[in-house]
Chains A and B, each alone.
Chain A
Amino acid sequence: MLMVRPVHTKKKSPVAKIILIGFLSATMGLLLGSKVTLAAEAGADEVFSRYKNQVVQVRIVEASSRSKSTVGSGFLVSPTGHIVTNYHVVALLIHKPDQYRGEIVHHDDHTSPLTLLNFDAIHDLAIVQSEREQPSYFKFQTESMDKGERVYSMGNPWDLGMTIVEGTYSGLLERTLYEKIHFTGSLNAGMSGGPAVTSEGKVLGVNVASAGDQLSFLVPAKFANGLVEKTLAEPYEKPKSLLLKLRDQLLRHQDAYLSSIISQAWDATSLGPYAVPGKIASFVKCWGSSAQRKKWLYETVTQSCSFEDGIYLSKTLSTGTLQFTHTYVSSERLNRFRFYSLYQSFFQNDFSDDIGKWFEDEEEVGAFRCLDDFVAPEGPSMKVVFCVRGYKKLPGLYDSVFKVATVDNNHQGLQGKVTLTGVSFENAQAFGRKFLENARVSP
């Protein structure tokens, strides 16, 4: 079958491109050799020499071969060896505890084993404890900061040795579900989990991600501080399953943000004669495009909204994203049979990109199963497809896809698609239901 489809270009926000740092091959550092110290301006050298003892390297080692699989950074937050790092640095200890173990390399190259005490996958934080005690440690910055203030980020990039990077505080990211600090400075792989400090040595954030070109991100200190206080307050008890703990965090998190979205009234935008949900939450970004060419016998208008900042779980699974697209297809020049043959090909071929690519690790997820039928809510009659797959290691979490197409007019139709990852089945249903209820013919 020959068919020409419109190409929908979509603008990606810079946040969508952020890459998690922290993975590098163990050989990389060895190849490049000696320690490099970056001290750009006056102040940095002072900060570095004063606080370098409190920054450590966190290594995740394959137990049998003893080779390094992940190298990140961390910093001391108590005299008893408590260290803050990123969740993604120690993720292997949660997903494959039998296969990996972690160790801390202190400033004087002293290596000691680590114990994973607590983690917060949503904010990409983890608390580990080193067996070595050390009297000096970091305190958190609790006062608010002004844009442009000097910030020094410390860590061990590419396993090359401890360094300091000078940059500026550029405020909190707006319109995002996962609050982050925008840091203008260059974070590199391996610096994940390291501290970003003020010139007084107070931690204002934890290095987490970089989008290149001096555009980097920090986890705000309040989340790290909260996790540290909680960890220090409770006596340590080895949890039965770290994966279950991870699952509970994800379930709670999706419940919180989805129930708030579902409970509020949704803004509607019009697409042809239809009214469809638009920017349903402040952290959701929307963009639209229409396509019409002289040669085409039809036209389309598309509106996409998404929130693509996922939560990193493991190398083969990220989750917590939301995306929906509406496409209005119409034609006066095609008869109804030809129009529906066009309309069907739009529905069967995906008319919008999925969030990145689907993760396809058999150990993590099962296969999709679908339900399809005609549904007639109060608005037009429509065909609805609901496809879901479950997470194997995190039972109770699912990826879901809703596809709908109105079937009520011979020359025009509205198709919609919603993709939610890492949600409970009930929330997928509730979101889909609200989505169906909110697509209607404009009065």
Chain B
Amino acid sequence: MIVIEVLNKLGNVTARTQHLTFPIHVGRAYNHNHVILDDEYVSPNHASIQMDEHGRIQVVDLNSENGLFLMPGKNRVSQTVIDKEGLFRLGQTLLRIRTAAFVTSPTKPDTEYLVNVLQAFNHGWTAAGTMVIAAMWMGFEVYWNNFTKSNWGELAMLPMWALALILVWAGSWALMSKINLHQYNFRIHCSIACLALIATSLFGVIDEYYAFAVSGSWTSEMLGWGGSSLLLGGFLLAHLRMCTTMDSKKLALHAGGVALGIMGLVGFSSYVGSTQFLSAMSYHGELKPPGFQLADSLTLDEFFHESQRLKKKIDVSIREESQEE
């Protein structure tokens, strides 16, 4: 038994046939060929695959116009024996022949945890549950940051808008899923969006507290940028996973690239904004209850000593800018 496979330029199989009897004829003509190739550079009766008296598989060139080549390399052969596998070029077609002796690679364990986890949300109640939690979280946030006596209308307004947006967002992803996978996965996309909303807002709170605690050192900036990129990338990956069949690693690369691109744009636009308005001041203005302060307080002397460095920076940039002009 042998299997003949037609490969495209990337090495992926485009056609595959199994043969139990010999000889097998390969060519362009519709006479007695078993494998017919639509390739103008292939002769009508180009090659044949036979079994010799020792049971070995032989590939023989039938005096074809353009010849038979053993790949890789450019060796034109008139006759060759194959053991487990042989790759040939006929005209412009790549042909792979594998015998029953060919050993396939070991089976990979299923590591698509993401898919398994996401599938758990493919349930009406779980999806509805995440939406309720997201709405409650939004309502709580409004209440938390409203410093006048709240009324229910105000508290409900923002969560309603947020839910409406989530539905539209999830709907767009679901359409993509439908086009690619022929299933909407709407509940999953909805859950992903709700979780993203809650996680982003929670992360914002944690980031602020951290920035306050360490008095806005570079680590808080890193946490902010790194965390936002990870969250964005992660949730993009989850959405993408649910609307393509692409390999998870490739998807992760794509999602990561897009997330970094978006963060880069945000960073760039905020940088441009800060250079455009000369009265813009950027500093860490987070204020949290006194118990959260981790960094030591400076003495007045230390603070003003530190400000001497600020002066140097300002003087240098002023000098540079004046010279440019």
* Chain B residues, Cβ within 8 Å of A407: 287-290, 293
* Chain A residues, Cβ within 8 Å of B296: 374
Stretch at the interface among B24-32, B105-113, B245-253, B313-321: B313-321
- Please judge, given known A-B contacts A344-B285, A358-B278, whether A390 and B314 are in contact too, CB under 8 Å: yes
The answer to the question of B100 belonging to the interface, with a C-beta cut-off of 8 Å to chain A, is: no
Cβ–Cβ contact B314 & A388, under 8 A: yes
Cβ–Cβ contact A370 & B321, under 8 A: no
B151, chain A: closest CB distance, angstroms? 10
Whole-angstrom distance between the alpha carbons of A368 and B283 in the complex?
A: 10
Cβ–Cβ contact A340 & B298, under 8 A: no
Cβ–Cβ contact B314 & A376, under 8 A: no
Cβ–Cβ contact B281 & A401, under 8 A: yes
Whole-angstrom distance between the alpha carbons of A316 and B299 in the complex?
A: 38
Q: Give the nearest-CB partner of B275 in chain A.
A: A367
* Chain A residues, Cβ within 8 Å of B306: 371, 373
B215 interface neighbour in A297, A359, A373, A389, Cβ under 8 Å: A373
- Please judge, given known A-B contacts A365-B278, A367-B280, A383-B287, whether A395 and B145 are in contact too, CB under 8 Å: no
Chain A interface size range: 35 or more
Whole-angstrom distance between the alpha carbons of A3 and B142 in the complex?
A: 9
* Chain A residues, Cβ within 8 Å of B147: 3-4, 296-298, 331, 334, 338, 342
Whole-angstrom distance between the alpha carbons of A296 and B215 in the complex?
A: 30
* Chain B residues, Cβ within 8 Å of A429: 304, 307
- Please judge, given known A-B contacts A3-B147, A368-B279, A407-B290, whether A388 and B310 are in contact too, CB under 8 Å: yes
Near B by CB (< 8 A), chain A positions 370-398 give 370-377, 381, 383-393, 395, 398
Near A by CB (< 8 A), chain B positions 98-149 give 142, 144-149
Interface 1/0 per residue, A288-307 and B, CB below 8 Å: 00000101111000000000
The answer to the question of B216 belonging to the interface, with a C-beta cut-off of 8 Å to chain A, is: yes
Cβ–Cβ contact A343 & B287, under 8 A: yes
The answer to the question of A171 belonging to the interface, with a C-beta cut-off of 8 Å to chain B, is: no
* Chain A residues, Cβ within 8 Å of B307: 371, 386, 429
Whole-angstrom distance between the alpha carbons of A387 and B317 in the complex?
A: 15
B290 interface neighbour in A331, A338, A381, A388, Cβ under 8 Å: A381
The answer to the question of A2 belonging to the interface, with a C-beta cut-off of 8 Å to chain B, is: yes
A13, chain B: closest CB distance, angstroms? 24
The answer to the question of B10 belonging to the interface, with a C-beta cut-off of 8 Å to chain A, is: no
A387 interface neighbour in B216, B283, B318, Cβ under 8 Å: B283
Cβ–Cβ contact A425 & B290, under 8 A: no
Whole-angstrom distance between the alpha carbons of A273 and B191 in the complex?
A: 50
Whole-angstrom distance between the alpha carbons of A37 and B102 in the complex?
A: 114
A102, chain B: closest CB distance, angstroms? 25
Whole-angstrom distance between the alpha carbons of A371 and B145 in the complex?
A: 27
* Chain B residues, Cβ within 8 Å of A337: 144, 288-289
A428, chain B: closest CB distance, angstroms? 9
Cβ–Cβ contact A369 & B322, under 8 A: no
Cβ–Cβ contact A437 & B146, under 8 A: no
**Which residue, A298, A341, A385, A403, has most C-beta atoms of chain B within 10 A?**
A341
B272, chain A: closest CB distance, angstroms? 12
B294, chain A: closest CB distance, angstroms? 10
Cβ–Cβ contact B275 & A372, under 8 A: no
B279 interface neighbour in A4, A296, A360, A395, Cβ under 8 Å: A360
The answer to the question of B14 belonging to the interface, with a C-beta cut-off of 8 Å to chain A, is: no
Q: Give the nearest-CB partner of A372 in chain B.
A: B283
5 A-B pairs besides A331-B147, A392-B318 with CB distance below 8 A are A338-B147, A344-B286, A347-B287, A374-B293, A386-B303
User: Would you list 8 pairs from A and B whose C-beta atoms are within 8 A, ordered by A residue?
Assistant: A337-B144, A347-B287, A360-B278, A377-B300, A381-B297, A384-B303, A395-B319, A408-B290
